[in-house]
A and B are shown apart, each in its own frame.
Chain A
Amino acid sequence: MSEAHPELGFWRKYVFATDHKVIGIQYGISALVFLFIGFCLMMLMRWQLAYPGEAIPLIGGLLRESWVNQGAMLPNFYNQLGAMHGTIMVFMGIVPLAVGAFGNFVVPLQIGARDMAFPRLNMMSYQAFIIGGLVMLTSFLLPGGAASSGWTSYAPLAVIATTGQTFWLIGMIFLIASSLLGAINFIVTIVHLRAEGLTFFRLPFFVWSQLVTAFLLLLAFPALQAAAVFQLMDRLVGTSFFLPSGLVVGGEPLAAVGGGSPLLWQHLFWFLAHPEVYVLILPGMGIIAEVIANNTRKPLWGYRTMVYSLLFLGFMSFTVWAHHMFLTGMGTTMSTFFQATTMIISIPSVIILSCLLITLWGGSIRFSVPMLFALAFLPMFGIGGLTGLPLGLAVPDVYLHDSYYIIGHFHYIVAPGTIFALFAGIYHWYPKVTGRAMNVTLGKIHFWLSFLFMNGIFMPMLFEGMAGVSRRLFDPTIYAHGAAVHGLTVMTSWSAWCLALAQIPFVINFFWSMRKQERAEENPWQATTLEWATPTPPPHGNFPETPVVYCGPYEYSVPGAARDFSPQFVKQEV
């Protein structure tokens, strides 16, 4: 199996790479850059919210004339920031990092494969992603600026928006194509390329989470693709799929055929976007399961239960989407249906979370940096999940819909939830990727500050939302109830800027450790899964000899074993 591989030139090795590890790193770096950009957009928005109408310090004078007035932000620019923050974070930041980067790098290693099943498809998937990302970013340079109709691009607002929206749609079609190609690749890889002896119930939970995620991407994304095509037709050719009759814009009746349904957009969008929520969280859960099992030195409690919950979660996620649409007047029967499915889908999430929590019980926990992030994930995801329940019930949703409460809710899941999980993953697999461990002290500083400020951002939002502040306001102080809780807004903003500063130790750690830290061994965490059987960093083709799997993924502290971990790839004497 170990034939010689010819040395490849720079372009073939790093730019047009077909090796899953290089593609994973490409995805990882691009996604981190996009996350940073999305974060910057948000910091600008936080200035306007905390100090409405005041000139943006430092960079206010540098921004385009159409965006600022004497350094103070204009409403239209605020809308662009809001729309693009959501789009960049969801579609170009977290999903590519969780699926594209971690999935690509770790999954083939964890299943003992030499590469993804379709290496060239993998390359095309990354290329489509980067094209889509660049199209999105370029739209800021357009005369009318970027898309400004929210990350959901609700019609008819989005249909009559400036050219930036067209770029958004085209960019989205590329991103969808990328995800589809990736999803096909993941499913075939996981089903076909597992090492000998690696049965489905010996797969690490992370691989399971990627498998379910891939199915969600595969079957949910086409709905948004269809919707994007319809909206492009509406915008470019003048059809009226999403434009109702008699629409009046700025006091003028809109010259359109009419007869379309704005609700149709919402259905198609949320048919994708609700499974997308699980695409955001499931890989995170997978990473957390790996880290927790490894650092408690215990098998995952209820591994099979977790897998079945995961499958059920994935299946149900297709039947809950209209809980985003309770306020559209879709009728009580349908509201009741979607409310019921929403309550049902919360059960498997709770099961998975409980299993992870029980795994901690009686473990001799190693408080390594990835473990700290994993431990923080559990309560943060818990808060995010529990605050979602009132939103899933139609009646409280009437009050809470589109308020800061929902912003707080889903950010608790995605920011201190998924992003913490991703950080845990970065700290956990960094030694495998670079061959060197990350610095622990810097890592702990990064964790504690991030943990503090994440809560400083999102906890006040829940209270603001319950006070009735709308998420869409350019200046929340124009209303008395908004002005009354303005202190919370200011606190959120300062927390956000401090969170940015808290990432500096991470950035330093990330680059410094690459060169200066001591070399890591093959299995520095004394883990059991297959990715630790490879040389560090893994060469092209991954495994020097084809691995064989002898046991389940989390054989830690097996009674009678010589060590407290029994790797899958080592045959145990019975």
Chain B
Amino acid sequence: MTESEAALVKQEVRVYVMVFTALAGLTVVTVAISYLHLPTVLAISVALVVATVKAGLVASYFMHLISEEKVILWLLLLCAAFLVALMALPVGTETGIAPLWPFSS
């Protein structure tokens, strides 16, 4: 391990602490918002946006995606494309048919 690399890691450590603070803060924020009882659509949107931001922070800094090689990013992009198909298409087929609970209004 060279000196300069060690210094670089030391710098990174400061980033990790900042990311942790942000994550903890966002957790508190998302919980606080849930007590406001926003309308359903808004509540879901806000919670998912906050969760995505947190996940982005973890992936970018703890998992080093921000400085990771391109090959990993391409892999994740491919994965994301299939994930979109998996998330969207089944729900699309579901909207055309009867609800799952036949005895509801």
Indicate if A touches B (C-beta under 8 A): yes
Q: How far is the CA of A264 from the CA of B91 in the complex (A)?
A: 9
A329 proximal to B (CB < 8 A): yes
CB distance from B105 to the nearest CB of A (A): 14
CB distance from B39 to the nearest CB of A (A): 24
* Chain B residues numbered 46-105 whose CB sits less than 8 Å from any CB in chain A: 71, 78-79, 82, 85-86, 89-90, 92-97, 100-103
Q: How far is the CA of A334 from the CA of B91 in the complex (A)?
A: 10
Chain A residues with CB under 8 Å of chain B are 191, 215, 219-220, 223, 244-246, 258-261, 263-264, 267, 271, 318-319, 322, 325, 328-334, 337
Q: How far is the CA of A343 from the CA of B101 in the complex (A)?
A: 35
Q: Provide the residues of chain A in CB contact with B82, threshold 8 Å.
A: 219-220, 318
- Taking a contact as CB atoms under 8 Å apart, the answer to whether A263 and B101 are in contact is no
- Taking a contact as CB atoms under 8 Å apart, the answer to whether B96 and A245 are in contact is no
Q: Provide the residues of chain A in CB contact with B89, threshold 8 Å.
A: 267, 319, 322, 334, 337
CB distance from A317 to the nearest CB of B (A): 10
Q: Provide the residues of chain A in CB contact with B78, threshold 8 Å.
A: 215, 219
**Contact status of A333 and B100, CB under 8 A, knowing A219-B79, A267-B90, A319-B85:** no
Which residue of A260, A318, A331 contacts B85 across the interface (Cβ within 8 Å)? A318
Closest to B96 in A: A331
Closest to A191 in B: B71
Q: How far is the CA of A322 from the CA of B94 in the complex (A)?
A: 12
Q: Provide the residues of chain B in CB contact with A328, threshold 8 Å.
A: 93
- Taking a contact as CB atoms under 8 Å apart, the answer to whether B90 and A264 are in contact is yes
- Taking a contact as CB atoms under 8 Å apart, the answer to whether B101 and A259 are in contact is yes
- Taking a contact as CB atoms under 8 Å apart, the answer to whether A245 and B92 are in contact is no
Knowing that A215-B78, A318-B85 touch, tell me 13 more A-B residue pairs with CB under 8 angstroms. Answer: A191-B71, A219-B79, A244-B100, A246-B102, A246-B103, A261-B94, A267-B90, A267-B93, A319-B89, A322-B89, A331-B97, A334-B93, A334-B96
* Chain B residues numbered 27-60 whose CB sits less than 8 Å from any CB in chain A: none
Give the A-B pair count, Cβ closer than 8 A. 57
Q: Provide the residues of chain A in CB contact with B79, threshold 8 Å.
A: 219
Q: Provide the residues of chain A in CB contact with B101, threshold 8 Å.
A: 245, 258-259
- Taking a contact as CB atoms under 8 Å apart, the answer to whether B103 and A334 are in contact is no
- Taking a contact as CB atoms under 8 Å apart, the answer to whether A245 and B102 are in contact is yes
Closest to A220 in B: B82
CB distance from A234 to the nearest CB of B (A): 14
Which residue of A246, A318, A334 contacts B92 across the interface (Cβ within 8 Å)? A334
- Taking a contact as CB atoms under 8 Å apart, the answer to whether B100 and A260 are in contact is yes
Closest to A319 in B: B85
Q: Provide the residues of chain B in CB contact with A261, threshold 8 Å.
A: 94, 100
Q: Which 9 A-B pairs have CB atoms at the shortest separation, nearest pair first?
A: A331-B96, A330-B93, A267-B90, A334-B93, A318-B82, A219-B82, A259-B100, A261-B100, A334-B92
Which residue of B86, B96, B103 contacts A330 across the interface (Cβ within 8 Å)? B96
Q: How far is the CA of A313 from the CA of B95 in the complex (A)?
A: 29
12 residue pairs from A and B, CB less than 8 Å apart: A219-B78, A220-B82, A244-B102, A245-B100, A245-B101, A258-B101, A260-B100, A261-B100, A329-B97, A330-B94, A332-B96, A334-B93
Q: Provide the residues of chain A in CB contact with B103, threshold 8 Å.
A: 245-246
Q: How far is the CA of A182 from the CA of B77 in the complex (A)?
A: 22
Q: How far is the CA of A125 from the CA of B102 in the complex (A)?
A: 44
CB distance from B75 to the nearest CB of A (A): 9
**Contact status of A322 and B85, CB under 8 A, knowing A245-B100, A246-B103:** no
Q: How far is the CA of A245 from the CA of B102 in the complex (A)?
A: 7
Q: Provide the residues of chain B in CB contact with A329, threshold 8 Å.
A: 96-97
Q: How far is the CA of A100 from the CA of B85 in the complex (A)?
A: 28
Closest to B91 in A: A267
Q: Provide the residues of chain A in CB contact with B71, threshold 8 Å.
A: 191
Q: Provide the residues of chain B in CB contact with A330, threshold 8 Å.
A: 93-94, 96-97
CB distance from A323 to the nearest CB of B (A): 12
CB distance from A557 to the nearest CB of B (A): 37
Interface core residue of A191, A223, A334, A337 (most chain B CB under 10 Å): A334
Closest to A330 in B: B93
- Taking a contact as CB atoms under 8 Å apart, the answer to whether A271 and B102 are in contact is no
Q: Provide the residues of chain B in CB contact with A259, threshold 8 Å.
A: 100-101
Q: How far is the CA of A560 from the CA of B71 in the complex (A)?
A: 40
CB distance from B78 to the nearest CB of A (A): 8
Closest to B83 in A: A219
Q: Provide the residues of chain B in CB contact with A263, threshold 8 Å.
A: 90, 93-94, 97
- Taking a contact as CB atoms under 8 Å apart, the answer to whether B96 and A333 are in contact is yes
Q: How far is the CA of A331 from the CA of B96 in the complex (A)?
A: 5
Q: Provide the residues of chain A in CB contact with B97, threshold 8 Å.
A: 263, 329-331
Closest to A240 in B: B100
Which residue of A215, A325, A331 contacts B95 across the interface (Cβ within 8 Å)? A331
Q: Provide the residues of chain B in CB contact with A260, threshold 8 Å.
A: 100
CB distance from A78 to the nearest CB of B (A): 32
CB distance from B73 to the nearest CB of A (A): 15
Closest to B86 in A: A271
Q: How far is the CA of A332 from the CA of B95 in the complex (A)?
A: 11
Closest to A264 in B: B90
Closest to A260 in B: B100
Q: How far is the CA of A318 from the CA of B84 in the complex (A)?
A: 11
CB distance from A156 to the nearest CB of B (A): 13
Q: How far is the CA of A196 from the CA of B49 in the complex (A)?
A: 46
Q: How far is the CA of A264 from the CA of B90 in the complex (A)?
A: 8
CB distance from B8 to the nearest CB of A (A): 26
Q: Provide the residues of chain A in CB contact with B85, threshold 8 Å.
A: 318-319
Q: How far is the CA of A334 from the CA of B95 in the complex (A)?
A: 10
Q: How far is the CA of A332 from the CA of B82 in the complex (A)?
A: 23
Q: How far is the CA of A331 from the CA of B86 in the complex (A)?
A: 18
Q: How far is the CA of A191 from the CA of B75 in the complex (A)?
A: 13
Q: How far is the CA of A267 from the CA of B97 in the complex (A)?
A: 15
Q: How far is the CA of A164 from the CA of B89 in the complex (A)?
A: 32
